[in-house]
Amino acid sequence: MNRLSWFNVTSLTLGFAFLYLPMVILIIYSFNESKLVTVWAGFSTRWYGELIQNEAFLDAAWVTIKVAVTSSTLATVLGTMAAYVLVRGGRFLGRTLFSGMIYAPLVMPEVITGLSLLLLFIGIGLDRGVLTIVLAHTTFSMCYVSVVVSSRLMTFDRSLEEAALDLGCSGFDAFRLVTLPIIAPAVISGWLLAFTLSLDDLVIASFTAGPSATTLPIKIFSAVRLGVSPEINALSTIMIGIVTVGVISASLVSKQNSLRQQRDEQAAARTA
């Protein structure tokens, strides 16, 4: 291995500092005893204790999780179906239009998506609440799922599906028993993507949330407007912790899988 030169060390330090310094400061101040955010008054876990007592935050967190799970599941089902039709459907009337339109929400400004959904819900007289947030999140995260799944389907060996048909499967069975299990990793990462998008969406949620339901990002944003409280720091630290654990365990699992795959293949080559 080459030793790191001073130049590399410097750029590495600067890069990481740029990325993580704000978060590190946030985490440090979440353990601040003082109520004033900018004054350090000793270590304490007091704000974590108060956070657990705070009904409004807990409600918002619960709503956020409910919305994220439901909308990402719906988006995964719809997005996978759309991807399958786009990749496998062959040529049908309006295919180009459809495939262009499914990606449109990716580039559409969120404000416009949010506004149009708001107008729709008002137009059809739907009371704003959990249901409207779920619908809105499903709408915009579905296209992300279909992008992820369709890129997997494009490299999918079609002869696997043909083999399933050849062995007596109906079209749906071939999808259920062969295609879906094989593309499952892509479907799962599509779900995770949709889940994350829903979890941290502020703009669209503010348009579609009503007085009966508020998500965590909206709650944090409105709380911060009244002044940053150490409680918010504690809440953010918990969220950073959850995300970090999730990312690290996901990469560990995938690394282990690829190692096992490699070992198996080597073993197969030896016994051949």
Region from 95-103, 138-146, 168-176, 222-230 binding other proteins, contact rule CB under 8 A: 168-176
In the complex with other proteins, which residue's Cβ is closer, 142 or 178?
178
Q: Does 178 bind other proteins (CB under 8 A)?
A: yes
Least distance from other proteins to the Cβ atom of residue 184, Å: 8
| Maximum CA extent, the chain | 72
Q: Does 182 bind other proteins (CB under 8 A)?
A: yes
Least distance from other proteins to the Cβ atom of residue 132, Å: 39
Cα(82)–Cα(186) distance, rounded to whole angstroms? Answer: 14
Q: Which one among 42, 168, 211, 227 touches other proteins, defined by CB under 8 A?
A: 168
Q: Which tokens in the block code for residue 12?
A: 């590495």
Q: Does 265 bind other proteins (CB under 8 A)?
A: yes
Q: Which one among 12, 24, 154, 160 touches other proteins, defined by CB under 8 A?
A: 160
Q: Does 90 bind other proteins (CB under 8 A)?
A: no
Q: Does 268 bind other proteins (CB under 8 A)?
A: yes
Is 79 in contact with 190 (CB distance < 8 Å)?
yes
Binding interface with other proteins (CB under 8 A): 157, 159-160, 162-170, 173, 177-178, 181-182, 261, 264-265, 267-269, 271-272
